[in-house]
Amino acid sequence: MTTTRKQTSARVLELPDEKGLVEAYRHNLFLKVVFIISCFAVLMLVIGYSLAVGQGITVSESYEIMMKHLAGEIYPLRSEMWWKDYFIWNNVMPRVVVGIIGGCGLAACGAVMQSIMSNPLADPYTTGISSGACFGAVASLIAGVSFASLGSGYTTVTNAFIGALVPTMIVILISRRINATPATLILIGVAISYFFNAAVTLMMVTATAEDLQAAYLWQVGTLTGMTWSSVPLMLVITAAGSAVAMLFSKNMNLLTMGENSAKSMGLDVEQFRMLCLIMVAVMTAAIVSFTGILGFVGLISPHITRLVIGSDNRVVIPASMIVGALMLVSCDLISRLVSNITDIPVGVVLSLLCSPIFLLMVTGLKRGRGVY
Amino acid sequence: MEMKAVDLGFRYYDNVILSDVNVDLEGNKMVSIIGPNGVGKTTLIHCFSKILKPTDGRVYVNGKDIEDYKLKELAKIIAYVPCTSLDTFPLTVTDTVLLGRNPHSKWGSLNRDLEKVQETLRLLGIEDLAMRPFNELSAGQRQKVVLARGLVQESQILLLDEPTANLDIKHQMGVTRLLRDYSHKQGIMVIMISHDLNIAAKYSDEVIMLYGGNIFAKGSPKDTINPENIEAVYGVRSKTVINNGRPHVILEDDDDPKTNICAGA
């Protein structure tokens, strides 16, 4: 029995030999870093290919054009290189950058939510963030309602951002009044989701066909039409949130043994969980308000990561971020490759490709080779 | 080190779990808390470790009200080892045990912390499991890992909820003996919940017998673990044999309907 376990587990490493535990531990850590670096290298290749597609240039040429642009090189107006530079910098690069930021942010949020809820099914939207964001966006797209006046061009974005924060605030307010376990938090989130989803449906049934399409596409999530103006807010919030998530990773490890153990090791669990919920809400809101609801990245990236390098949050969070970025940029690339006739939103590609992966993982669990 | 409870009470809404519990423990010794299921043993040590806030009375640790301690400060004084642990997102055994160093960990302390982890794993005879994921271990192995996590916390008071529940008889004796010796040699207080009266009697310096949310008896094993108390608290007839000054309980099965929990089923 023991032999079978050893053979089937990808995460069982050699037992500490006479060199001692310190060396075995460092070796284990080194392997995890190698995984992160490998994913990063693949991500860089995918980014290069993504920039080169449709331009008749190679990956290295696409990088060269980017480097030269960043170095300030200016080409003769409307020359071939000018067009290439223009296309890459203004059309492709923003969606790739948003893809990287979105993938990183949603994956980090997914890993954090799964840890603080001690639930493998948790994702950034568990507390109802997606339904609140949808409500905000659809209110703008269909009913023309604006929650804040930041200029007509940003109504959908600001509505979605504010809408995304509302469910988490409700969850936090309710949980402060009762002794809320993670299961209670999830159930409150589910109830809020149903409420907002009903409101969204109510608006949609009254909409014109054109508004309905816009509202529906927003809910699927897309990187099409991203511009550099989408980047700053997302970047700043995602970078700050991810840094905090990495600082919190040690505390998330304490929660792996259960709430009582974590408390006895010095963690104020309730306060920590609330801080994480606020952080996840702001990060997710900043991303989905621009991209729409991108599903699966936040759920699956941490699982794929844990499958390979185990559940230590100190490495799961950064590694999930790179896996999430890789997943989103790759799916966006695929959607661009197959979108010659009609535009396929990246959210659709994500779900089409990631659902079978998720299924494989779940059935892998049945064979004793799954993540958990 | 000192652990004191004054008029301690705990209730969930109207359901009283503990009432008027007074405990005054000090010094490096091994204390066993015994009593039937649902009598409030776990609730008591949860109150001792600030996991639960008592609804009545106070708990004092080293003369200071436990409510005045920050959790991280308290974690350096009290370690708590639960009887079950989550395994949703399992860490390796080393990482799991390393969590116990959290209250003490500083920048650059990893190597020293790992050496302590290795030393403790060796002490419990589970060094070969160091790199295994926690969820692939047997119940007994898990229990030893969680115990190791409590030991590396290097606290003055160690609270254990049935630390030997999943161990075979040899390992029950080994672990309890280790805890008693650890208590005496390292100068710490070990407070352990136990359902095994003979293990508690053999290794404890002091026994607290709980019944009906209150302390029924406390004192040396010889004074507390006797046929009268066992019958009153557990509803079980027994006789005790004194061996090396400590009682050994022999249960008597006399088909008494009072002791048959399946009666009428």
- What the block records as the tokens of B201 is 């009697």
Q: Quick one: which of A279, A295, A298, A272 has its CA closest to A237?
A: A279
Is the CB of residue A12 less than 8 Å away from at least one CB of chain B? yes
* Cβ contact A21–B118 (<8 Å): yes
Using 50, 70 and 90 to split pLDDT, how confident is the model at A19?
low
pLDDT of A274 > 90? The answer is yes
Q: Pick from A9, A119, A250: which is nearest to B136 by CB?
A: A9
**Half-sphere exposure (CA, 13 Å, Cβ side) for B110?**
11
What is the pLDDT, as a whole number, of residue B28? Answer: 92
Interior angle at CA B40, CA B38 and CA B41, nearest 5: 105
pLDDT of A16 > 60? The answer is no
pLDDT of B36 > 60? The answer is yes
pLDDT of A54 > 90? The answer is no
Residues of A in contact with B91 (CB under 8 A): 253, 256, 310-312
Q: Pick from A24, A261, A306: which is nearest to B85 by CB?
A: A261
pLDDT of A171 > 70? The answer is yes
Torsion sign, CA atoms B10, B12, B14, B15: negative
pLDDT of A289 > 80? The answer is yes
Q: Per-residue pLDDT tens for A96-111?
A: 999 999 999 999 999 9
Q: Pick from A120, A258, A312: which is nearest to B82 by CB?
A: A258
Candidates A264, A272, A365, A371: best to mutate against B (most CBs of B within 10 A) is: A264
Distance CA B83, CA B193 (A): 10
Q: Find the closest chain B residue to A117 by CA distance.
A: B88
Tell me the CATH class for A41-363: mainly alpha
Residues of A in contact with B133 (CB under 8 A): 9, 11-12, 310-311
Report, as an integer, the average pLDDT of A39-52. Answer: 93
* Residue A105 Cα distances to A125, A133, A319, A325, angstroms: 13, 16, 12, 8
Q: Per-residue pLDDT tens for B99-151?
A: 999 998 877 788 889 999 999 999 999 999 999 999 989 988 999 999 999 99
The answer to whether A33 touches A308, Cβ cutoff 8 Å, is: no
* Residue A24 Cα distances to A6, A13, A19, B101, B123, angstroms: 17, 9, 8, 19, 19
* Residue A306 Cα distances to A5, A117, A311, angstroms: 18, 16, 5
Instruction: Give the contacts of A62 (CB within 8 A, at least 6 positions apart).
Output: A48, A49, A51, A52, A55, A88
* Cβ contact B85–A257 (<8 Å): yes
Q: Nearest CA to CA, how far is B207 from chain A (Å)?
A: 24
Beta bridge partners of B64: B61
Q: Quick one: which of B120, B107, B115 has its CA closest to A22?
A: B115
What is the pLDDT, as a whole number, of residue A372? Answer: 54
Residues of A in contact with B146 (CB under 8 A): 257, 261
- What the block records as the tokens of B126 is 């589970």
What is the pLDDT, as a whole number, of residue A330? Answer: 94
* Cβ contact A258–B49 (<8 Å): no
Residue type, A207: A
* Cβ contact A372–B88 (<8 Å): yes
* Residue A356 Cα distances to A294, A324, B117, angstroms: 17, 17, 41
pLDDT of A9 > 60? The answer is no
Distance CA A212, CA A198 (A): 15
Report, as an integer, the average pLDDT of B5-10. Answer: 95
End-to-end Cα separation, chain B, in angstroms: 49
Q: Where are the domains of chain A?
A: 41-363
Report, as an integer, the average pLDDT of B68-89. Answer: 92
Using 50, 70 and 90 to split pLDDT, how confident is the model at A268?
very high
What is the pLDDT, as a whole number, of residue A151? Answer: 57
Antiparallel, parallel or unpaired: β B214-219 and B2-12: unpaired
Beta strands in chain B (DSSP E): 2-12, 15-26, 30-34, 56-61, 64-65, 78-81, 157-161, 189-193, 206-211, 214-219, 238-243, 246-251
* Cβ contact A266–B51 (<8 Å): no
Using 50, 70 and 90 to split pLDDT, how confident is the model at A129?
very high
User: Rg of chain B's alpha carbons, rounded to an integer?
Assistant: 19
Residues of A in contact with B122 (CB under 8 A): none
Mean pLDDT over the full length of chain A:
86
The answer to whether A258 touches B85, Cβ cutoff 8 Å, is: yes
The mean-pLDDT minimum among A222-231, A270-279, B20-29, B70-79 falls in: A222-231
The length of chain B is 265
Candidates B83, B89, B92: best to mutate against A (most CBs of A within 10 A) is: B89
Candidates A13, A261, A314: best to mutate against B (most CBs of B within 10 A) is: A261
Long-range contacts of B67-71 (CB under 8 A, 24+ apart): B71/A263, B71/A266, B71/A267, B71/A268
Q: How many CB pairs under 8 A join A and B?
A: 124
Find the helix or strand (DSSP H, E) in which A315 lies.
helix A313-337
Q: Nearest CA to CA, how far is B134 from chain A (Å)?
A: 10
Residues of B in contact with A265 (CB under 8 A): 75, 99-100, 102-103, 153
What is the pLDDT, as a whole number, of residue A150? Answer: 56
Q: Quick one: which of B145, B172, B131, B167 has its CA closest to B87?
A: B145
Is the CB of residue A336 less than 8 Å away from at least one CB of chain B? no
* Cβ contact A250–B91 (<8 Å): no
Report, as an integer, the average pLDDT of A220-225. Answer: 85
Is the CB of residue A8 less than 8 Å away from at least one CB of chain B? no
pLDDT of A60 > 70? The answer is yes
Is the CB of residue A17 less than 8 Å away from at least one CB of chain B? no
Instruction: Give the contacts of B95 (CB within 8 A, at least 6 positions apart).
Output: A253, A312
Q: Nearest CA to CA, how far is B216 from chain A (Å)?
A: 27
* Cβ contact A256–B96 (<8 Å): yes
What is the pLDDT, as a whole number, of residue A149? Answer: 62
Interior angle at CA A260, CA B22 and CA B20, nearest 5: 15
Q: Nearest CA to CA, how far is A22 from chain B (Å)?
A: 6
Distance CA B164, CA B22 (A): 26
Q: Find the closest chain A residue to B91 by CA distance.
A: A311
* Cβ contact A257–B149 (<8 Å): yes
Q: Is the model's pTM score more than 0.80? A: yes
Find the helix or strand (DSSP H, E) in which A83 lies.
helix A80-86
pLDDT of A11 > 60? The answer is no
